[in-house]
Amino acid sequence: MDKKAAKFEGVFPILVTPFDEKDQVDHDSLRKVVQFMVQIGVQGVTVLGVLGEANRMVDSDRKGIIKTVVEAAQGKIPVVAGTSHTGTASTAALSVMAQEQGASAVMIAPHKEPVSNQQKIFEMYKHVSDSISIPIVVQDHPASTQVQMPVDLLVRLVEEVEQVGCIKEEATPTGQKLTALFEGMQSRSVPVLVGLGALYGFFDLQRGAAGFNTGFAFPEVLLAMVRAAGQGNMDKLFELYTRFLPLIVYEQQPGLAVRKEIYRLRGLIAHNRVRHPGATIDPKTSEQLAGLLQRILPGKDLTKPISL
């Protein structure tokens, strides 16, 4: 798959990383997740994001996960690999490794330094770009990074770092930042995907987002939303958004417990375990989630793709 392969439009689910009872990566489940994504027709998948618990991995975990996902994707969809690291040389090294394993792109967020320095952030992306030949997704997610990237910096990255192929915009309020980005990108422009579990999905698509790069456990819904937006059918888009919003809201709460439980209920992962020190779902929350799913998707077989 060549560098152009990842178009960064549509839906790129952030994959969870399944773990077994011994807290080790469960590659069988991971393959199943990828196959499901191919089946429902997503435009690509992203591994090793925040929601993939990338921060709880050693490098060999990372490598094994990329390998499995690339193999399972069989070249049918591009695989984006998160390669953020607190050091520039290490970010580059992980990105080279991802490329070698067959990733079609890397996703990188800046990291917090004692004194924030936009020039250093620019240099980091530039250095990584010089080390690989696949595109870079610039992730702007201050809630996890504690780094604020002003529009000026993002525009500079797009204009001066050729391999930047996409911005993943997750700085709230996302609407204003999307509009500012679209106004700011003049000499060169890249698609902007949004995340945050699709919490602001309707509003972000209305503002011109190219799609979703997030972990909502029913990507079929996101696909339908992007389709509706593409057809200019805002009534349909709003209807879909409203119908699933209680679930979107419930799922995007801090922690990964709810999302992993849904993946389990969908038959895609064998265990709902969140890697320590993360917390796995508790019985009361599990029960509340089951009730919610019953309200939103009454009588549906969750293990099958949902048609909308």
Q: Which stretch binds a copy of itself (CB under 8 A): 3-11, 184-192, 212-220, 282-290?
A: 282-290
Local structure of residue 282 (DSSP, 8 states) = P
Q: Which stretch binds a copy of itself (CB under 8 A): 29-37, 38-46, 98-106, 288-296?
A: 288-296
Whether the CB-CB separation of 82 and 49 falls below 8 Å is answered with: yes
Pairwise CA distance, residues 304 & 174, whole Å: 32
- Given candidates 2, 21, 187, 277, which one binds a copy of itself under the rule CB under 8 A? 277
Considering beta carbons, is residue 3 or 27 the nearer one to a copy of itself? 27
- Given candidates 176, 189, 231, 233, which one binds a copy of itself under the rule CB under 8 A? 176
Pairwise CA distance, residues 178 & 173, whole Å: 9
SS3 213: coil
290 binds a copy of itself (CB under 8 A): no
Considering beta carbons, is residue 24 or 303 the nearer one to a copy of itself? 24
30 binds a copy of itself (CB under 8 A): no
Q: Which stretch binds a copy of itself (CB under 8 A): 72-80, 186-194, 211-219, 236-244?
A: 236-244
Considering beta carbons, is residue 75 or 87 the nearer one to a copy of itself? 87
φ, ψ (nearest 5 deg) of residue 152: -55, -45
117 binds a copy of itself (CB under 8 A): yes
3-state secondary structure 52-107: HCHHHCCHHHHHHHHHHHHHHHCCCCCEEEECCCCCHHHHHHHHHHHHHCCCCEEE
- What is the contact mask toward a copy of itself in residues 182 to 221, using x (rule: CB under 8 A)? -----------------xx-xx--xx--------------
- Given candidates 151, 243, 271, 286, which one binds a copy of itself under the rule CB under 8 A? 243
Pairing of strands 136-140, 192-194: unpaired
- Given candidates 29, 65, 84, 85, which one binds a copy of itself under the rule CB under 8 A? 85
Q: Which stretch of DSSP H or E encloses residue 252? A: none
3-state secondary structure 117-164: CHHHHHHHHHHHHHHCCCCEEEEECHHHHCCCCCHHHHHHHHHHCCCE
Handedness of CA 93, 98, 99, 101 (dihedral sign): positive
Whether the CB-CB separation of 91 and 125 falls below 8 Å is answered with: no
148 binds a copy of itself (CB under 8 A): yes
* Site residues for a copy of itself per CB under 8 A: 23-24, 53, 55-61, 85-90, 93-94, 113-117, 120-121, 123-124, 127, 142, 148, 171-173, 175-176, 179, 199-200, 202-203, 206-207, 238, 241-243, 245-246, 249-250, 253-255, 275-277, 282, 284-285, 288, 291-292, 295
